[in-house]
Structure formats: structure tokens, C-alpha cells
Amino acid sequence: MPYARITGTGGYLPPRIVSNDDLAADLATRGVETSDAWIMERTGIRQRHIAEPGTKTSTLATAAARAALDSAGLQASDIDLIIVATSTPDFIFPSTACLVQANLGVGGAAAFDVQAVCSGFVYAMTIADALIRAGSARHALVIGAEVFSNILDWNDRRTCVLFGDGAGAMVLSASDKPGILAARLNADGRQQHILHAAGNVVGGQVTGDPFLRMDGQAVFKLAVNSLTRSAHEVCEEAGVAVSDLDWMVPHQANIRILNFISRKLGLPEDKLIVTLDRHANTSAASVPLAFDVAWRDGRLQPGQLVLLQGVGGGFTWGSVLVRL
Ligand code: UT7
């Protein structure tokens, strides 16, 4: 049975950068009070990229996909599986993955979306790994892409300062050499109320509340506990120790969450790839974007052992352990 290896990565961020000061000034015009000091101290976020109104998730996803194909040295026609993880799809249907496929000018390969919010990318990677190992795909394009600014309530300072827009992508290819060593996905639907966007379309009208709502402290605690446990589980499954990890690429939500996890795991903080200061929380895009940054700047090197982790609404979480 072949393994799935990472053979290329790519990322795309919309050009408009909004600093905490910019955002605070903008929110002040709505009577919403926040500050760079609060956002930095509580989250570690300095800025975020925000897409221009009307920007489609498929546009960001396609740009990241093209960069990943380039880095893998492949053509779109080589791809036989496209999975997009997103909570902000262009349409109810067709899937964003089908739109990306059309943008790439190809057809025929399987294409579908995965909805696991900020865990979406590790879910999508795990599905691609299973299909490659089963022999159903040779080269998979796995993408996390979001225009999260579309579902933010800009009058709710507890949430709108935390998120940004962007897309990250990876090519996973079949190989005889081990790549993905183990993966673990989890969910607890009973915790759905702590992080949700509960709007719906009925009779052509949006009903319910379409904006993201979050109980920040409940999410914080669950994120720390579930990701710590998940890291131990996936390492145990692969027969490696947490201390063997060269890098961890965690979901980029809050620096304090990452600090807690690294302390609980006994993993030095400088082994964590952190981009949340520049990207903020880009939901399903955060893990592949962070991975792409570290791949391109040379921190990630062949042979290294890397743990990718996602956590978010559902409540969902998961880990993928990879040998590069
Ligand atoms: O992708 C996964 C999704 N999300 C996460 O992982 C987020 C997890 N949670 C968190 O990151 C943190 O809980 C937050 C950053 C959301 C909040 O930090 P916190 O330290 O838990 O703050 P808090 O909610 O306890 O709020 C403290 C105070 C409150 O004021 P009072 O009641 O003490 O007077 C808030 O009203 O901070 C206030 N506050 C703000 N002040 C200025 C909340 N948001 C803001 C803001 N600017 N943007």
C-alpha cells in the first residue's frame, strides 16, 4: 500500500492588510471599542488580511492551489483528487472544490468540500491520505480556504478582531516512502453551541443568525485539552515520542492557546510554527498557510517529523503526523 507524501505547498493572502490600529479605528466609527494593546495581549494577533467585498473563496483557493502545483512541479491535469476545506463556500452548491477545478481548466477528477471549520484542513488531509493509500488517487490537491470576513459580525468585538481571510494548499502524492504516518480526527457535536454560525437558507431567505458566535473561554479550554490529548494519541499510534517532533504546525487561533499546549506537551515554544501574528485566525486555511510559510523559509526540511493540528467549531479537532 502506498503512503501519501507532501510534495508541494502554496498559500495566498488577499493584499489588504488591516492592522489592529486600523481595525480599532474602523470599529470606533461603529461605537465598538477595542485596541491594539488588548488584541496583542489576549491573542498575539498584530494584523490580518481582509479580502475586498465580493471576493470568492474559490479565487483564494485557486491561487493557493496554483502555487502548490508549481512547488510540486505538477500540472493541474496530473491531479486526480481535489478537496477544499471551507466554512465559507462560494455557493450552497456546487462545491468550492468543483469551482477550483474549473478555474484550473481541468475536469474528470473527484472534487468535493469538507466542512469541519478550523479543523477542516486536517480532516481533508486525512481523507486524501486514506484515498491515496487505498490506491484511488495518485496526486491530491488539498486546500483550506476562507473568506471568513463574510461571516463576522463587525459589531461584536469578542469575535471580529480574531479572524482573517486566506488560503493554503498542499499536494499529497503516492509514494513508497512514508509521509503521513498517523492521523486522528475527533468531534463532539454536543459542544456545537460554543462556536457556531447558525444561519440557514429557507425559501430563498437567510433565517437564523448567519454570523459566527463564540464562547471564547469554553473554546479556549477545550482547544488546549483536546489538542494536547490528540498529540499524545497520534504520536503513540505512530510509535514516536512527542519529544521526537521537529516541528508542530498548530491551528493559529491564539498565542496563549499555543503556549499552554507547548507547556503541557513539554515541547519548546520555538518548535511551534506561528503565523497568527500576521495572518490572525484564517480557520481552515490557517494550518496550510503556516506550513507553507515554514516550508518556503526553509525551517521545514526533508526527513523531519511534523505534527499538524486543527481545532474548531463542531466541536472538532484532529492531528496529522508527517515525515517530510
Ligand atoms: O479557531 C478556533 C476558534 N477560536 C479560538 O480558539 C478562540 C479561543 N478563545 C480565545 O482566544 C479567548 O477566549 C478570546 C481571545 C476570545 C478572549 O480572551 P479572554 O482572555 O478569554 O477574554 P474574555 O472573553 O474573558 O474578556 C475579557 C474582557 C471582557 O470585559 P469584562 O467583561 O472583563 O469587562 C470583554 O468584554 O475583555 C473584553 N473584550 C474586549 N476588550 C477589548 C472582549 N473582546 C475585546 C476586544 N477589545 N476585542
Residue 315 pLDDT: 98
Q: Are 11 and 142 in contact (CB under 8 A)?
A: no
Q: Please compute the mean of the pLDDT values over residues 24-41 and round it to a whole number.
A: 98
pLDDT exceeds 90 at position 139:
yes
Provide the pLDDT for residue 82: 98
Please report which confidence band the pLDDT of residue 1 belongs to, taking 50, 70 and 90 as the band edges: confident
Pocket test of ligand 1: the residue of 122, 220, 309 to mutate, having most ligand atoms within 8 Å of its CB, is 220
Tell me which residue has its CA closest to atom 26 in ligand 1.
Answer: 158
Q: Is 223 in the pocket of ligand 1 (CB under 6 A)?
A: yes
Q: State mean pLDDT over 90-102.
A: 98
Q: Which residue has the cell 491594539?
A: 36
Give Cα separations from 169 to 46, 99, 208, 231, 262 (angstroms). 24, 15, 32, 22, 25
Give 193-213 pLDDT, tens digit per residue: 999 999 999 999 999 999 999
Phi-psi region of 135 (alpha: psi -120 to 50; beta: other; left: phi over 0): left
Catalytic: 251? Answer: yes
Condensed to tens digits (0 to 9), the pLDDT of residues 212-269 reads 999 999 999 999 999 999 999 999 999 999 999 999 999 999 999 999 999 999 999 9
pLDDT for 147? 98
On the question of pLDDT at 72 being above 80, the answer is yes
Cell reading at 206? 437567510
Q: Is the pLDDT of residue 125 over 80?
A: yes
Taking residues 168-178, report their average pLDDT.
97
Check if the beta carbon of residue 87 is closer than 8 Å to that of residue 286.
no
Residue 282 beta carbon below 6 angstroms from any ligand 1 atom: no
* Per-residue burial over 227-264, b = 16 or more CB atoms within 10 Å of its CB, e = otherwise: bbebbbebbeebebebeebebbbbbbbbbebbebbbeb
* CA 42 – ligand 1 centroid, Å: 7
From the CA of 210, how far away is ligand 1's center (Å)? 21
Q: Is the pTM of this model over 0.75?
A: yes
Average pLDDT, the chain: 98
Mean pLDDT to the nearest integer, 111-116: 98
